[in-house]
Amino acid sequence: MGEDDDGYPIRIKLKYFFEYMVIQQDDSPLYLFESSLEDRKEGKKLLKYFDVPKYFRDDLFSIV
C-alpha cells in the first residue's frame, strides 16, 4: 500500500483492505498503488491479462 517512514513497504491482506474501504470515512483514504508492477516476476504475468482502458491510453502528463 505504500511505505512507512523508514522506506519499508506496507503490506495488508486484500480482504482487510476491502473491509477498510467499506467502513472508512477518511478525508484522504488509503489506496492500492503499484508503480513498478512490470519489474516484478509476478507482475509481468498479470500484465499480459491487462489492457489500458481507452480513456487512459493518452499520456496526459506529456501535455503539461
pLDDT at 1: 62
For 19-45, give the secondary structure using H, E and C.
Answer: HHHHHCCCCCCCCCCCCCHHHCHHHHH
pLDDT of 7 higher than 90: no
pTM of this prediction exceeds 0.85:
no
Q: CA-CA distance, 35 to 1, in Å (whole number)?
A: 11
pLDDT in tens, 17-46: 899 889 998 888 877 777 777 787 888 888
Q: CA 58: distance to chain centroid?
A: 19
